[in-house]
Amino acid sequence: MSLRRLGRTDLSIEPLILGGNVFGWTLDEAAGFRVLDAYADAGFTAIDTSDSYGKGKSETIIGNWMKARGNRGRMLVFTKVGSDMGQGHRDLSAKWIESEVEQSLKRLQTDVIDLYQSHWPDPQTPQEETLSAFDRLVKAGKVRWIGSSNQDGRLLSEALEISKDKGLARYQTVQNEFNLYDRSSFAGEVQEICVREDVSGIGYSSLARGFLAGKYRSAADADKSPRGKSAVDKYLNPKGERILKALDAVAKRRNTTPAAVTIAWIGAQPGVGAPIASATSIEQLESLTEGAQLTLDADDLRALTDAGR
């Protein structure tokens, strides 16, 4: 598989990032280890998590796994800061970042985070303060690269300009919701900035809570998982049905799964460094890794794109 470079860095990854939001939530440590083992065995290395996933449980499971397998040196660890961890608000203040990074390092059992991302915008904290705190962490060797998440075009442009003007570490990635159904948070201005400024988009919610894997095709399917009802309520409509029809057709032609086709479509979009997706079973993971290595032709891409307009 060909590696992809994230932003203006020498950080190269395989074309799939494993989402760690399920660790400590729908997967306990033993089940999480099985998924992580299968992901690494397939040749992939990048894992994304957050301090807020399970209030630290996800980072703890990933840290325990890397220690048990002795593989920290070959894995790439991405985590986030800024969500409400009990302080009652989103927080990207320098004080919080400099405190919370130590907790993440401890839970992950590492001395450096490969990609440290602001999780949500914090309207109470100037971006220069946040970027200055990140810059100090990079200079201290605790963080290699920084990224953002859930930023719109205005905030991302402002952050890049501040980093340029002040000589601070710049956001190399932006992790926004992006899939065949939900495109507005990335497509358009943010995507244009990514292409122009060499920032890598990392699309989260790649499978739209499992809907784009073909898991929910009727209201009766809502009981299939904890996210089933919300997926059915949001996506089971004429637009969602058009997308499923297009996914089924491409999957049939390619002898693969709708989930694999979904991952391949995201990875083929301009400005995207790699899609991020989580798995709760080895079977789910196999569809994701297959999709990361699947190349769709122009007709496939056009049919899928048009179905979700």
pLDDT per residue rounded down to tens, the chain (309 residues): 789 999 999 999 999 999 999 999 999 999 999 999 999 999 999 999 999 999 999 999 999 999 999 999 999 999 999 999 998 999 999 999 999 999 999 999 999 999 999 999 999 999 999 999 999 999 999 999 999 999 999 999 999 999 999 999 999 999 999 999 999 999 999 999 999 999 999 999 999 999 999 999 998 888 888 788 999 999 999 999 999 999 999 999 999 999 999 999 999 999 999 999 999 999 999 999 999 999 999 999 999 999 999
The helix/strand/coil state of 118 is: strand
Phi, psi of 207 (to 5 degrees): -100, 10
**225 occurs within a structural domain:** no
Phi, psi of 201 (to 5 degrees): -75, 135
**224 occurs within a structural domain:** no
Q: How many domains does the chain have?
A: 1
Q: What is the pLDDT of residue 222?
A: 82
Tokens of 258: 């709708």
Amino acid at 18: L
Cβ contacts of 265 within 8 Å, gap of 6 or more:
180, 296, 300, 301, 304, 305
Q: What is the pLDDT of residue 278?
A: 97
**227 occurs within a structural domain:** no
Q: What is the pLDDT of residue 299?
A: 98
Amino acid at 37: D
**58 occurs within a structural domain:** yes
**80 occurs within a structural domain:** yes
Contacts made by residues 152-161, CB under 8 angstroms, sequence distance 24+? 152/185, 152/189, 152/190, 153/188, 153/189, 153/190, 153/192, 153/193, 155/121, 155/127, 156/190, 156/193, 156/199, 157/193, 158/127, 159/127, 159/131, 160/193, 160/197, 160/199
Q: What is the pLDDT of residue 220?
A: 87
Residue 238 CA to residue 177 CA, distance in Å, equals 21
**307 occurs within a structural domain:** no
Cβ contact 259:207 at 8 Å: yes
**235 occurs within a structural domain:** no
The pTM of the full predicted model, rounded to 2 decimals, is 0.96
Which run of H or of E encompasses 46?
Answer: strand 46-48
Cβ contact 53:20 at 8 Å: yes
Residue 194 CA to residue 159 CA, distance in Å, equals 13
**300 occurs within a structural domain:** no
Contacts made by residues 189-192, CB under 8 angstroms, sequence distance 24+? 189/152, 189/153, 190/151, 190/152, 190/153, 190/156, 191/269, 191/270, 191/271, 192/153, 192/271
- For 145, the domain range is 4-213+259-295
What is the length of the chain?
A: 309
Q: What is the pLDDT of residue 147?
A: 98
Looking at residue 110, the DSSP 8-state letter turns out to be -
CATH of residue 290: 3.20.20.100
Tokens of 148: 């953002």
Q: What is the pLDDT of residue 228?
A: 85
